[in-house]
Structure 1
Amino acid sequence: MRKTLYIIGLSTIVFSCTSQQNVKKNTYKPKTPVVQPKTAVKTQTPEAPKPKVVSDHGVDFFTTNIADPTKNDNTASYGSIVSAKPGGYKVVKTYFPAVAQNFRQRYLILHYTAIPDDKSITVLTQQAVSAHYLVNNMGDNEIYQLVDENKRAYHAGVSSWRSDKNLNDTSIGIEIVNAGYTTDAAGKRTFAPFSDEQIRKVAALAKDIVIRYQIPATNVLAHADIAPTRKQDPGPMFPWKKLYDEYQIGMWYDEAVKQNFFAIAQEDFTTRYNEPSFVFLIQTALQKFGYGVEAGGKWDDATKKTIEAFQYHYRPQNYDGMMDAETWAILQALNQKYPTK
């Protein structure tokens, strides 16, 4: 009996102590408030609202560039916006336009027709050749548009410049009414001049196009430049330097730089003219500038025609297709001024 009472008493004491410990553990202690650092509130700069698409008689237009012009990007539409019309669905321009885009029109190519005004119109509108514009020789203030600038005209044919080929895809073509050339018994070509009225028209038209499409000077070219083995237009009578000096259109070399190269070139042509390595050097310089000539180290027919095309454009006083010291100096000066990017 005593043992029983003793065990019961001991259990009571243990239970009592355990309960006290639990009470101590659960005793409330007020916490010291911790001050959290305030998170900086970022103020979002509101996006500048996009100019709206303008609708006129159910046709949409967007004539404001919101892209980066330094990257040659442009979101402007010169004409109506062409959109799909899928059956049963509605195409909306809620997020139009995306900034990552640019123009198809990257080149401006100049030609002559080699036929009179009336025949030029017939051929360029009714046959399998065309251009975006035709500049007549009638002394008026009209320029004929023949093809939408957003469409491909068939004016360049098999063509290349630098890394681009088939330039119909990426160019605007201007045809100029001009008689072209006649050939004498010795095979020498004599080219017809252009009228002052025509050149003023061409300059105004070209200036408008290169500004709107941000076409660089390196991409304003002659048909002969992009197809030198088969074309001569617009020939050596076309005043490229006048367009460069008075209208800031196209490429031209700096005279002082040319003279520096000319002093060295004279010595090269005295001692190295027929060396294959020197011919190869000239061919690769023509390639670097943009011409699609093969570099084989020989004065072949394709190289001669390419030099001739170059002379039509940059050395019209002498276009015999023979590389001489002055032509070589001009080519080097141009390569220095307009390097391939």
Structure 2
Amino acid sequence: MRKTLYIIGLSVFVFSCTSQKNVKKSSYNAKTSTTQAKTTVKSATPEKKKPEIDTEHGVEFFRTNIADITKNDNTASYGSIVSAKPAGYKVVKTHFPAIAQNFRQKYLILHYTVLPDDKSITVLTQQSVSAHYLVNNLGDNEIYQLVDENKRSYHAGVSSWRTDKNLNDTSIGIEIVNLGYKADATGYKTFEPFSEDQIKKVAALAKDIVTRYNIPATNVLAHSDIAPTRKQDPGPMFPWKKLYDEYQIGMWYDEMAKQNFMTSAQTDIDTKYNEPSFIFLVQTALQKFGYDILPNGKWDDTTKKTIEALQYHFRPQNYNGILDAETWAVLQALNQKYPTK
């Protein structure tokens, strides 16, 4: 009896092992097929070689753009690479750089100092205000750098443009030596002109900066654009159209588009000027272009100063802060050419 049970048990064990081997073999074949398919896909997309890091006197630099320039998504370092040095460990750049990054520098902001050369230097280097660059009025070929481009300078203050605020964080600031303006008894402002030497310096400097950081035209701005209720610089004497025409820097409207808007703009001024719905429309257009203004349907002081800032930049022949047909046509032409994305 025991012998019979032993033979039966042995038969069951052999059958069980045989079944398990068959199952394993079947699973293995399926796994082999899957693995081969993955290998084929992987070989079709080889990993890209990482750009090299330059080393000079023991300092590391990275000067290669690796991302999509059309999205302002460049990655380049024009200074040394700053790295941590944790005690007892070594930071390596085996996988440097990650592609998901971009420049801090998204804006270029232009200012005037309201001071002569010597006092401009003192204030911008010794007090709680600064800029990355200072353009003097001495007729020489020098431009003073005051702050590292990779650092924040304190030039913009409370500021806003389109969806961005606190533009010190994302901008490079250029100060230009200029005495600003004098106001008469009626409040009318007369602005100091810039020298031709200064404009050439500013243009060359701005061109270099916007090219390296791929700063779009909509982000090359006046201090008055980003803080219209507080600031007037660089004022209506600064030749924005010259920079646009001769150096391809910044924004300007198309003359044909402006003329196309002129007839309807004049009708609006003649028939709707004091209607709250029209004022709200104008304020909305200013906000859409980029200015920090909340539409309320009233010709208030904020609206007047915002229109004045627009005129400083794009209609310097008349900067009284009052909307006329040409200013209204210019604003509509600008919104047509530079829509908010």
TM-score range, shorter chain: 0.7 to 0.9
* 1:229 alignment partner, SS class: coil
Map 1:299-338 → 2, pairs under 5 A = 299-338=299-338
| Structure 2 equivalent of residue 207 of structure 1 | 207
Query: Which one-letter code corresponds to 1:139 in the other structure?
Result: G
* Larger Rg, first or second structure (1 or 2): 1
Distance 1:201 1:125 in 2: 20
* 2:121 alignment partner, SS class: helix
Q: Which moved more, 1:177-186 or 1:43-52?
A: 43-52
| Structure 2 equivalent of residue 103 of structure 1 | 103
Distance 2:127 2:44 in 1: 59
Please identify which structure carries the higher helix content: 2
Contact 1:160 1:166 in 2 (8 A): yes
Distance 1:106 1:70 in 2: 13
| Structure 2 equivalent of residue 89 of structure 1 | 89
How many residues were matched structurally? 304
Distance 2:332 2:219 in 1: 18
Q: Which moved more, 1:72-81 or 1:296-305?
A: 72-81
Point out where structure 2 has 5 or more consecutive residues left out of the alignment.
Answer: 1-32
Contact 1:75 1:98 in 2 (8 A): no
The question of 1:184 aligning with 2:200 is answered no
Distance 1:44 1:328 in 2: 56
Map 1:2-13 → 2, pairs under 5 A = none
Note the C-alpha offset of 1:106. Answer: 0.4
Q: Which moved more, 1:233-242 or 1:260-269?
A: 260-269
* 1:328 alignment partner, SS class: helix
Map 1:40-189 → 2, pairs under 5 A = 42=40, 43-189=43-189
Note the C-alpha offset of 1:224. Answer: 0.2
Query: Which one-letter code corresponds to 1:135 in the other structure?
Result: V
Q: Which moved more, 1:43-52 or 1:54-63?
A: 43-52
Point out where structure 1 has 5 or more consecutive residues left out of the alignment.
Answer: 1-36
* 2:44 alignment partner, SS class: coil
Distance 1:246 1:57 in 2: 40
* 1:111 alignment partner, SS class: strand
Q: Which moved more, 1:278-287 or 1:69-78?
A: 69-78
CA RMSD of aligned residues (A): 1.2
* 1:253 alignment partner, SS class: coil
The question of 1:275 aligning with 2:280 is answered no
Distance 2:145 2:330 in 1: 35
* 1:211 alignment partner, SS class: helix
Identity %: 80
Query: Which one-letter code corresponds to 2:248 in the other structure?
Result: Q
- What does the per-residue CA deviation read over 1:55-114, in whole Å, with 9 as the maximum and x for residues that have no partner? 122211111112221222122111100001111110000000011110000000000001
Contact 1:50 1:66 in 2 (8 A): no
Distance 1:337 1:186 in 2: 36
* 1:173 alignment partner, SS class: strand
Runs of 4 or more, structure 1, over 6 Å off, are: none
Distance 2:106 2:196 in 1: 27
Distance 1:209 1:216 in 2: 11
- What does the per-residue CA deviation read over 1:122-175, in whole Å, with 9 as the maximum and x for residues that have no partner? 000000000000000000000000000011000000000001111000000000
| Structure 2 equivalent of residue 257 of structure 1 | 257
- What does the per-residue CA deviation read over 1:20-75, in whole Å, with 9 as the maximum and x for residues that have no partner? xxxxxxxxxxxxxxxxx9x7873435434222111122211111112221222122
Distance 1:71 1:272 in 2: 41
- What does the per-residue CA deviation read over 1:270-294, in whole Å, with 9 as the maximum and x for residues that have no partner? 1100000000000000000000012
Calculate the TM-score normalised by the size of structure 1.
0.87
Query: Which one-letter code corresponds to 1:127 in the other structure?
Result: Q
| Structure 1 equivalent of residue 218 of structure 2 | 218
Distance 1:90 1:77 in 2: 22
Calculate the TM-score normalised by the size of structure 2.
0.87
- What does the per-residue CA deviation read over 1:286-312, in whole Å, with 9 as the maximum and x for residues that have no partner? 000000012110000010000001000
